[in-house]
Amino acid sequence: MSFELLLQILSVFATVTLAISGVLQAARSEMDFFGALVLACVCAVGGGSLRDLLIGATPVFWTQDLIYIFAILIATGVTIIALKFIPEGKGIRHLLLDTVDAVGLGLFAILGAEKTLQMGFAEPIAVVMGVITGIAGGMMRDILSQNLPFVMRGEVYASAAIIGTISYTFIRLYFPETVAIVAGMGIIIAIRLISVYLGINIPQVTFRREKK
């Protein structure tokens, strides 16, 4: 299997996971079918589109290969039907959203950094673009459904993407690109899932508090 094909498969897989996370959010916000489709699209290709715009790689990636749009359409349809069979309560829906989201985050962050490096940008820019690719879609989803972007409030999310993409830029100096990509994705997914399951949070930024 060629390296480019591997990248494309991972990219489509990440698209599907984030489209699902968009539909799950739409159901929680009581949107209609088309709202769910819009949210799935924004979630799935929002981050990668923003990256492509910022680095000047236009037209954006999903206009060049119809597989992304069809993957989102199918994922949205299947998820809407599947939603009827997920039992209520016990936090299972929330856990499901967190898990598919973590996988999408890991895949897209590293793929975003890889593309940026391929285009000749410096490592720090690749890290920023990787983080944008990973988190911007979810931030747009949260804004469109009128939630405070959860990436910004104490959860280990952007930080997982930052640590993973920085690791990736170092690992690829000493190991083959494929190893660095897989390792980077694994680091992000692991950090994110561990923090979700253990309930680890990041301290808030605060002003000085007066002593009571």
Which residues of the shown chain bind a copy of itself in the complex (CB under 8 A)?
Answer: 23, 26-39, 41, 49, 53-56, 58-60, 63, 66, 69-70, 80, 83-88, 93, 121-122, 124-125, 128, 135, 139, 143-146, 148-149, 151-155, 157-159, 162, 201-210
Tell the smallest beta-carbon distance from residue 146 to a copy of itself (Å): 5
Q: Nearer to a copy of itself by C-beta: 69 or 182?
A: 69
Bond before 59 cis per omega within 30 degrees: yes
Q: Nearer to a copy of itself by C-beta: 16 or 129?
A: 129
Tell the smallest beta-carbon distance from residue 19 to a copy of itself (Å): 13
CA 20 to chain centre: 11
192 close to 204: Cβ distance less than 8 angstroms: no
CA neighbours closer than 13 Å in the CB half-sphere of residue 39: 29
Tell the smallest beta-carbon distance from residue 38 to a copy of itself (Å): 6
146 close to 30: Cβ distance less than 8 angstroms: no
Q: Nearer to a copy of itself by C-beta: 110 or 131?
A: 131
Length of the chain: 212
Task: List the end-to-end C-alpha distance of the chain, in Å, as a whole number.
Answer: 64
Tell the smallest beta-carbon distance from residue 3 to a copy of itself (Å): 24
